Amino acid sequence: MELSTVIFLLLAILGWGMGAFFDKATLKHMDPSGAFYVRSLFMIFIFAPLVLWKYAPTKQALLGSDKLGPLFVMASVIVSMGGVFFYLKALSGGEAGRIVPLSSTYPFVTFVLALLFLGESFTTNKLIGTLLLSGGIYFISK
């Protein structure tokens, strides 16, 4: 793995970890539905200017794609934001130290879907690694 990939991965982990911390802190001050919609509003305010600033590459990505590209992006947004909504609902009713790790077992879902629909290769190591990761997260949250 290239160093830049490792750095980006570490930054993603840091961002998601801090995001979960701020999510739980937020839920002490507002209900999960309100937090979801305020988050969505802030995302619009923050990212709309970025999209306008990068309008040419955004337009090129959209026009350069086949018909399924934008549909998959939309599906990703819908299911990801649905996941965020339900995650906030769960987080409001439980301890962050339990809910966050359990919500992090999603790689098993990705693993199965990638095998079934993306034609990714199956290896015993991938299966065992994914199961160990998901199992370990489960036991940490007990």
Does residue 134 lie in a domain region? Answer: no
Does residue 140 lie in a domain region? Answer: no
Q: Which residues contact 90 (CB under 8 A, 6 or more apart)?
A: 99, 103
Provide the domain limits for residue 43.
Answer: 3-103
Does residue 126 lie in a domain region? Answer: no
Does residue 141 lie in a domain region? Answer: no
Does residue 142 lie in a domain region? Answer: no
pLDDT tens for the 142 residues of the chain, in order:
799 988 988 888 888 888 988 999 999 999 999 999 999 999 999 999 999 999 999 899 989 999 899 899 899 999 999 999 999 999 999 888 888 888 888 888 888 899 999 999 999 999 898 888 888 887 877 7
The total number of structural domains that make up the chain: 1
Does residue 130 lie in a domain region? Answer: no
- Taking the C-alpha atoms of residue 142 and residue 138, their distance in angstroms, rounded to an integer, is 7
pLDDT of 135 reads 83
CA atoms within 13 A on the CB side of 93: 5
The burial class, CB within 10 Å (0-12 / 13-18 / 19+), for 123 is exposed
Nearest to 27 by CA among 82, 80, 81, 91: 91
Does residue 28 lie in a domain region? Answer: yes
Does residue 54 lie in a domain region? Answer: yes
